[in-house]
Amino acid sequence: MEQIAIISDIHGNMPAFETVLKDIKHRHIKRIFCLGDLVGKGPDSVKATDICREICEVILLGNWDYFMAEGQDFPMFRWYRQQIGQERLKYLRNLPPVFNFHISGRKVRLYHASHIGVAHRVKMDDTEDKHLAMFNNTDFTGDDFAPDTIGYGDIHRTFLKNIKGKVLFNAGSVGNPLDEPTAAYVIIEGNYGDEKPGYFSIQTIRLPYDIELAIKQARDAGLPKMELELYEEELRTSRYRRDELMKEWKRNKIDL
């Protein structure tokens, strides 16, 4: 029997990330899978990326990772890119989009956002048909695996749902939760790599962390004023910045 930590959406928030890593270590979990969005929003994209490269067995491509690495001409990205540097941007650009594995007879597929791609968002309260479509094979996922369990990130909200015998779960966000202001990750437990049915569980972990320290670090790092204000608001209230930036997102054709 083995536990696997599924983390996602760190977004350069080291106080939250360190809190999660401390909890993972306390539970003696050795295998960590990351569903992407290591960078952006918070000030410590470099630390988040380097630590993930060191400790995560699997790291998948997120939408922020993709847009940052692809050089999207969005003003706030420029500050982050300068911090991240070309070597890490190249690394992010080449992250795999999907990971499939067996555990206790379950066929689990992980990706950042959906079966369509890293920038195609599927929300917690979307229709059952949209949720069921997440199990489909596409050009993005490949067609050599038929998952019965899907895990993803992107929406920064944890949930677990059984749909006609299939399981859909969201790992939430380590560094930018938008359901409650506590760091989130998921633990999967079972016989990793085993195609025979056996014990299997999914557990969501919520952890309080020092939000004011995270904001102070962003301020001390010189995060641009507009981005800093939005970051503070999101961390303290768990309200999504989309309302404030919708017009700018549309002008740049970017869904963050």
Q: List, for residues 124-166, the tens digit of each pLDDT value.
A: 999 999 999 999 999 999 999 999 999 999 999 999 999 999 9
Report residue 242's pLDDT band, with 50, 70 and 90 as the boundaries.
Answer: low
Span 196-207, mean pLDDT? 98
Query: pLDDT > 70: what percent of the chain?
Result: 93
**What is the reported pLDDT for 76?**
77
**What is the reported pLDDT for 141?**
97
166 beta partners: 163
Span 181-186, mean pLDDT? 98
For the segment 50-109, what is each residue's pLDDT rounded down to a tens digit? Answer: 999 999 999 999 999 999 998 766 777 889 999 999 999 999 999 999 999 999 999 999
**What is the reported pLDDT for 71?**
75
Superfamily in which the 2-99+170-252 domain is placed by CATH: Metallo-dependent phosphatases (3.60.21.10)
Span 15-32, mean pLDDT? 98
**What is the reported pLDDT for 241?**
72
Please give the Cα distance from 202 to 81 (Å, whole number): 35
Question: What ranges in the chain are assigned the alpha helix state H?
Answer: 14-26, 45-55, 63-69, 75-84, 86-93, 128-133, 211-220, 225-237, 242-252
Report residue 256's pLDDT band, with 50, 70 and 90 as the boundaries.
Answer: very low
Please give the Cα distance from 65 to 94 (Å, whole number): 10
